[in-house]
Each structure stands twice: as C-alpha cells, then as structure tokens.
Amino acid sequence: MPTLVHLPTGKAVTVRAAADLFLGSLGNPNTVRNYGIAVGKTTERLGEGRPLASVEDAEIGEALELLWGRSAVNTWNARRGAVLSWTGWCSEHGYEGPMVPAWAKRLAVPDSETPARSKMAVDRLIARREVHLREKALWRMLYETSGRAEEILGVNIEDLDFAGRRCPVKAKGARTKARRRGQAREDYVLETVYWDAGTARLLPRLLKGRTRGPVFVTHRRPGPGKVVSSRDVCPDTGFARLSYGQARALLDEHTAVRGPGTGWDLHEYRHSSLTHLGEQGASLLMLMAKSRHKKPENVRRYFKPSPDAIAELTSLLAPGDSRR
C-alpha cells in the first residue's frame, strides 16, 4: 500500500493533489469509489494542475451544474455531497481553497414539492427597483414561457421572433442508452416557447440595439484563463452568456430570507406559471402544450393550486342564492 504524504499546512497544493489527499484519507473502499467519481470529474473540469487556492466558489458550483445539472435528483445530491466533503476536508486541514456555493444547494427529493409562488409574489419581485433589468427580463420570460431555465438562457438574439412573441429553444428529448457502449445519452429537439406583453416590453430595453449573440449575458468579459465557446460570447460586447449557476445565484441573492441558499429556485417560475394557468381554467391538454410535456402525469406534478383557488372552486358548490 503506498505511503500517504501530507503536505505541510499552508503550503500551496494543486487541485489534483488536494483530491488525492482527500480520497487517501477515506477508509471505506466503497466511499473512495463513489467519492472518486464526483471529485475526479470535478477536478478534471476545474483543471488538475491549478493551485487549489486559485479556484473560486462559483467555479465549483458551475462544475457541478455542467457535470450533473441534468441528472436525477439523487445523483445530483450524491455528487454535490461528495464535493462538499472534499472542500470541507481541505478547509479543515488548512489547505486554502473554494467551498461549494450556497446556491448549488441540495435538491428536494422527488416526493417533495417545488413550491408555486403566487402571481403577486412573482410580479412584486420583478417590479423591485433594485433588481437589474437583465434579471427582470429573465424572470419574466421564464414565467411567461413556462420554459426551463437552461432553455431560456441558451436563446440567442437571432432566434427571437418579436412580432410573434416566440422563439425556438433547445429542449430535452428522450434519454436513451447506446447499446454497444452502455452509456447514457440525452437527445435534444428544437421546440417553440411563447411569451406575452411583459417580456415583449423588457427584451428591447435589455438588448439596447444588439442584434446577435446571447440574449442574457454577464456584465463583464470572461477572464483570460476561462475558455468560452464563441457561440456563448456576444460578438459586439465580448460579454459571455449568463450561466445557469450565475442566474441561480442572482435569484437567490434577491429572495433569500434565511441566509444564502434559502431563496427561490429558477425552476419555481415554471411551476408557478403552469399552476396559475391551471387555476385560470386551462385544460390539461393546453397545459401539456404550454409545458411541452408528453405525458399527462408529468404536467400534473406542476399544478399546485393555492388554498384561495381551491376555496373559490368550492364556492361553486354553494346553493344558488348564497353567492348573490
């Protein structure tokens, strides 16, 4: 068995060395194997030869999102937990480095429910003066399209049909397995989402005459060491596409009331949108068309009528003259 050499506390350590030291400290082979998957892939994404101290918290969160953001909830929680243990171990042993950001939070298990916010709460948040125009436009578009956050963040200006108030998005397709390789593969299809007057008013103000590149961008150019695809950079300003992790952190910043990580989640706009449409009388078929779900049981999980809506519905059962 190889001898484990601990580096002196405070001495510079690379991402790979920190990962090896952490995994070497674990006694259970099963834990080593499971944690090794999460920590190993994360270090590859971050850059194994980098000094651990140069890695920022946001980079850890974005690595998790890129690697397992589309995975099942239990997979996300397991991989996040392993990386959280790694960064915590490094901190405890004196190796300066990043932590898992609060916005990359543990997800609710499938049996629990993502909340549907009231329409008043959605409108009030977007109307707040301290909220930047970019966030206002993104949140309004998420709500009015009932779209997934990664779909809306991936939209380019060239895709927008302002007259028709619609645009194509790259949507998740069927998840299949390649027979020979046994590897999971997710197919993607182009689907159309539609928005209404709120988004129509905000988008032109946000774009300020830009005619190409990502709709939602950061407020500064990417750093010299960050590799970004040309499709994810505005050719006119040089600003990079706003990432899911950045958008998630911004929403948490404006909605957290019990500390970082306790705010709203981007997916709540989709739940809220479909719930409000259902409360207004939209049929199951129309909700499926709006959400682009293929199975009725999937869209039913998004419909969470409020107590007030149920009370109003119940009032329809009252005697004919009692509602006069």
Q: 6 in a domain, yes or no? A: no
Of the listed ranges 102-106, 208-212, 250-254, 288-292, the least confidently predicted one is 102-106
What pLDDT is stored for residue 245 in this prediction? 85
Helix (H) or strand (E) holding 272, with range, is helix 268-279
Enclosing domain of residue 147: 119-308
Q: 52 in a domain, yes or no? A: yes
Tell whether 304 and 156 lie within a shared domain. yes
CATH number at residue 271: 1.10.443.10
Q: 67 in a domain, yes or no? A: yes
What pLDDT is stored for residue 322 in this prediction? 55
Spatial distance between the Cα atoms of 19 and 49, rounded to a whole number of angstroms:
11
Spatial distance between the Cα atoms of 308 and 244, rounded to a whole number of angstroms:
33
Q: 250 in a domain, yes or no? A: yes
What pLDDT is stored for residue 183 in this prediction? 41
% of the chain at pLDDT higher than 70: 88
pLDDT tens digit sequence for 90-126: 999 999 999 999 888 888 765 456 788 999 999 999 9
Tell whether 235 and 302 lie within a shared domain. yes
What pLDDT is stored for residue 7 in this prediction? 45
- The residues, ordered by sequence, that sit 6+ positions from 259 with a Cβ below 8 Å of its Cβ are 102
CATH number at residue 57: 1.10.150
Tell whether 48 and 177 lie within a shared domain. no
Tell whether 227 and 280 lie within a shared domain. yes
Q: How confident is the model at residue 173 (pLDDT cuts 50, 70, 90)?
A: low
Q: How confident is the model at residue 177 (pLDDT cuts 50, 70, 90)?
A: very low
Of the listed ranges 5-14, 58-67, 260-269, the least confidently predicted one is 5-14
Tell whether 51 and 128 lie within a shared domain. no
Tokens, residue 49: 């030869």
What pLDDT is stored for residue 151 in this prediction? 94
Q: Give the gyration radius of the chain's Cα atoms.
A: 23
Is the pLDDT reported for residue 130 higher than 50? yes
* Number of domains composing the chain: 2
Tell whether 68 and 211 lie within a shared domain. no
List beta partners, residue 185. Answer: 176
Q: 318 in a domain, yes or no? A: no
Active site residues: 148, 177, 267, 270, 293, 302
Tell whether 48 and 174 lie within a shared domain. no
Residue with tokens 């990580």: 261
Tell whether 82 and 132 lie within a shared domain. no
- The residues, ordered by sequence, that sit 6+ positions from 153 with a Cβ below 8 Å of its Cβ are 138, 216, 241, 242, 243, 244, 247
Tell whether 66 and 185 lie within a shared domain. no
- The model's pTM: 0.69
Q: 315 in a domain, yes or no? A: no
Over the chain, what is the mean pLDDT?
85
pLDDT tens digit sequence for 29-77: 878 888 999 999 999 999 999 999 999 998 999 999 889 887 877 788 8
pLDDT tens digit sequence for 214-251: 999 998 888 766 777 888 999 989 999 998 888 988 99
Tell whether 207 and 86 lie within a shared domain. no
Q: 7 in a domain, yes or no? A: no
Q: 193 in a domain, yes or no? A: yes
Tell whether 240 and 292 lie within a shared domain. yes
The closest alpha carbon to 270, from 148, 112, 134, belongs to 148
**DSSP string for 62-76:** HHHHHHHTTS-HHHH
What pLDDT is stored for residue 220 in this prediction? 86
Tell whether 196 and 302 lie within a shared domain. yes
